[in-house]
Amino acid sequence: MSRIRLLFITLFLLSELGQAKAIDTLHIDTLNMMIVVTPAAIDSMGGPQNTLVKIVTAVRNINQSFINSNIHGYVNIVHTDLVQLMETGCMYDMLNHVLTNTTPDVEKLNEDRTNFSADIVVVIVNMPDRDCGLSGDFNNPQQSFILVHYDCIMENYSIARQLGYLLGCGNNQKQSGRFNPDSASTAYGYFYEDETGDNQLGFTTIMGYTDELKSSQYGDFNMIPYWSNPDINYRGNPVGDEWHNNAKQINNFLPTVTTYRTEFANLSLQNTLFIPYTFSTISVDDNLYLQDLTVQAESLSSFIGSNIRVKRTRIEPGADVYIGCDKKRIKQTPPTPE
């Protein structure tokens, strides 16, 4: 096994342990994401270890933005790997190659997507372009691919923005970018301009950048880790209004996207209630799919499998739950006082 591949697998396992802490006691739809990187992008990011640190950080930032915006979703990295793709032409040509060709590199990409049950595939490349990223069509499982330039995966939230397109979100109306005519008419990003004209006090949500403020390279650019939502405030100001509500669109459509690759399940557990003072262990050697479960306080449950999908599952305060291949604890709260 190559050193680069070993580092990818090792840091992937560490990232899973760290990400799990972000899960809260909400109804959660888990989106499985596979992320692959070209050798040129790895070299440009400073090697395999730096690359994976940036990948994990970018996904954690997405999950934090979901929490900030009251979005009931969680992005789970199911696989990271190298991908041998020709980085020639423009980014649009490369995305078209990934979506339409049957060359060995693309066939392996699709095979891995199926094997690792990835709803979304992210391809990180070294292709400076006028766009930081591109993605396939909304509401099309076969086109749920994201292509992103390596230098845009951190501050510029490019993976998050392209994911937003695949979830039916659009840019701010002032931006001449992408909109999804089949999604809600209110699924726009939000851009706030301070009344005093101080750009440092203004902000844009993840989908809300304008043509004038489209890159974190600008000093007055202030993209906040929020999706537009009129019910959420940032520094005393709402991050959306009735015409700018990406969070509503994502909450409505996320359950659909998280079923793009659910056919993998070897064991499916649905509509189950784990009552107080019960101890349960569900263990399979292969894949486990959990949906519409409620784990009540004063109960202990373990769900163990090689790949686990969690959808619309509520973990109540006071419950103790283990989910993973090695009994990694994702949620532990003290028992409710009598």
Enumerate the domain spans of the chain. 3-257, 265-332
What tens digit of pLDDT does each residue of 28-80 get?
Answer: 788 989 999 999 999 999 998 899 889 989 999 999 999 999 999 889 888 88
What angle, 0 to 180 degrees and rounded to 10, lies between the N-to-C axes of helices 3-19 and 48-68? 20
Res 166: pLDDT: 94
What pTM did the predictor assign?
Answer: 0.73
| Residue bearing the bigger pLDDT, 129 or 182 | 129
Query: What's domain 3-257's architecture?
Result: 3-Layer(aba) Sandwich (3.40)
| Residue bearing the bigger pLDDT, 247 or 103 | 247
pLDDT at 97 over 70: yes
- Cα-based torsion angle of the residue sequence 141, 30, 16, 56 in order, rounded to the nearest 10 degrees: 60
- CA 317/CA 3 separation, integer angstroms: 42
pLDDT band at 165; cut points 50, 70, 90: very high
Helix, strand, or coil (residue 186): coil
- CA 114/CA 121 separation, integer angstroms: 11
| Residue bearing the bigger pLDDT, 96 or 283 | 96
pLDDT at 130 over 80: no
Q: For tokens 């270890």, what's the residue?
A: 49
Tell how strand 120-125 and strand 307-315 pair up: unpaired
CB atoms within 10 A of CB 7: 17
- CA 207/CA 200 separation, integer angstroms: 18
| Residue bearing the bigger pLDDT, 324 or 21 | 324
Res 335: pLDDT: 37
Helix, strand, or coil (residue 313): strand
What angle, 0 to 180 degrees and rounded to 10, lies between the N-to-C axes of helices 48-68 and 158-166? 60
Backbone angles phi, psi at 149, to 5 degrees: -75, 140
Residue 287 burial (10 A CB sphere; 0-12, 13-18, 19+): middle
Res 202: pLDDT: 78
Q: Which helix (H) or strand (E) holds 18?
A: helix 3-19
Helix, strand, or coil (residue 162): helix
Q: Which helix (H) or strand (E) holds 285?
A: none
